[in-house]
Amino acid sequence: MQRKLMHVGPSFTSYRVQMAGVSENTGFASPDFLEAMKNSLEGLLYVAGADDTYLPFILPGSGTVAMETVTSIIPKGSRTLLLTNGVFGDRWIPILSSHGLDLDVLSAEPGRSVSLDDVRKKLDTGRYQNLIMTHVETSTGVRIDIEKVSKIAREHVDRIIVDGVASLGAEKEDIARLGITAIISASQKALGAPPGAALIVVSRSALDHINDFSYFFNLKNWITPMERYLEAKNGYLSTEPVGVVLSLSRVFSDIRAAGLDERIEEHRRLSLALNEGIEAAGLKVLAERDLWSNTVTAVLSDHADEIVRGAMDLGIEFATGVHPKIAGRYFRIGHMGYVNDFDALAALSVIERAAAKCGEKVRIGDGVKKAQEILYDLTKKNGGGQM
C-alpha cells in the first residue's frame, strides 16, 4: 500500500514538485539550475514578506544548518533572550552556547506559549540585544504571536530572529513590516519540497557585522554567491542540492500562482477542520485553542505510539511525540505542504479507527463529520478549496 505522509516533516509534496527534481541530469552551472536558484531566492523573499533590504540564502542542508549559520550575525559579547515553547526552541541553547554566545531562556510548559508579560519584563531589564523565537514549535504544535512579540521586542533589541521551519509558506511572516531581522527555514516542511536545502532571509544591515567563526556556517562567505545567484549567475561556494532546488523552484511558482495569502488561508482552514475534528472525536489537542498553528496538531492520548503504528497500517504516517515531558503520551499530525481536504478527512478517519482499536474512547465518525462540516462551510465562504 502506498502510504500518505502526514508527518511533521518531510511533509507531503506533489508529484509535479518531485518530478521537477528528478526529470533531468542538471549541473550546478547549467542555465536550468541557475534559473531555478534565482526563482527560489526571489520566492523565498516573497513568502517571508521581505523587500530588497533583505538578502535570501539557500544553502545545502536542513533547518539546523540554517539555525547554526544565522547565529553568525549575533555579535560576540551581546546577550540573547530565547523564547522557547518546546524541543526546537531549546535547540538554540547548544547552538548559541557552542559559539560562546550568551543567552537567557524563557520557556513554556508543553502546549502553552511564553507569556507576553514575561517577555516584556525580561526586555525591560535592558540586558538584551537579540531575541529569538520559533513561530510554530513543531514538538507541540504551538504558534507564538510573532506580531505581538516583535512589536514589544523592536523597542528593546537590535536583532529579532525567527525560526520559520514549520511555518514559512503556511503562516504570515511579514518580516519587513514586523521589523524582523532574520528568518530561517528548510525546504521540507511548510513549503512542501523534498529535504536538502537550508533557507535564510536576513536584513542586509545585519550582514555588516558577522562573527568570525566557521567557514561553511558563516553567512559572510555566502553573501557574494547569493548575490550572483540572484542574477542567475553561477555562485558556487559549496555544491547546492541541485534536485531539491529544482523542486523548490516549482513550489515557489505554485505559491505565486495560488497567492501567498490564499495558501496561508488554505492551511488555516485545514488546521481548523483537523483540530476541531480531533476534539469532536473525543480526543484532546495539546495546544491551547488560541495557540493552534496552521501546520502541526499535537494530540494527547495514552495510546499515542500505538495509534501511530495502527495508522501506519491503515495507510497514513503521523509523527510520534518528542517533547521529553510528555513523550509517549501524544502524537502529531503534520498538515503542511500539499495536503488537501480529503487528506484531512482521511487522517481523521484513520485516527478514529486506530484509536478505537487500542481502547481509546472515541466517537467513530464524529471527528470526520465535524471536519466535513467545517471544510464545506469554509469552502462556501471562501470560494476556495484545494491547494
For position 64 contacting ligand PMP by CB under 6 A, the verdict is yes
Task: Tell me how far, at minimum, the Cβ of 164 lies from ligand PMP, in Å.
Answer: 8
Site for ligand PMP in 88-107 (CB under 6 A): 88
Site for ligand PMP in 177-236 (CB under 6 A): 186
Q: Determine how many CB atoms are found less than 10 A away from the CB of residue 105.
A: 17
CA angle 216, 220, 224 (to 5 degrees): 100
Could you tell me which residues come within 8 angstroms of residue 138 by beta carbon, excluding any fewer than 6 positions away?
A: 8, 9, 86, 87, 88, 165, 166, 189, 296, 332
Amino acid at 157: V
Q: Cβ neighbours of residue 208 under 8 Å, at least 6 residues apart?
A: none
Site size for ligand PMP (CB under 6 A): 11
Minimum separation from the CB atom of position 241 to ligand PMP (A): 12
**What part of residues 135-154 is at the interface with ligand PMP (CB under 6 A)?**
138
Q: Site residues for ligand PMP, window 5-34 (CB under 6 A)? A: 9
- Assess 69 for contact with ligand PMP (CB under 6 A): no
Residue 166 CB, nearest distance to ligand PMP (Å)?
Answer: 5
Give the per-residue SS3 of 111-123.
CCCCCHHHHHHHH
Contacts of 25 (CB under 8 A, 6+ apart): none
Q: Which residue, 144 or 354, is less far from ligand PMP as judged by CB?
A: 144
Closest to ligand PMP by CB, 136 or 219: 136
Q: Which three cell numbers stand for residue 43?
A: 520566492
Stretch that binds ligand PMP, among 56-64, 116-124, 244-252, 356-364 (CB under 6 A): 56-64
Rounded least distance, CB 10 to ligand PMP, Å:
9
Per CB under 6 A, 355 contacts ligand PMP: no
Closest CB 113 distance from ligand PMP, rounded Å: 14
Phi, psi of 70 (to 5 degrees): -70, -20
Angle made by CA atoms 315, 319, 324, in degrees to the nearest 5? 155
Q: Give least dist CB 284 to ligand PMP, A.
A: 22
Part of the chain binding ligand PMP (CB under 6 A), chosen from 46-54, 161-169, 222-230, 300-308: 161-169
Q: How far apart are CA 102 and CA 385, in angstroms?
A: 47
Residues interacting with ligand PMP, by CB under 6 A? 9, 62-64, 88, 134, 138, 163, 165-166, 186
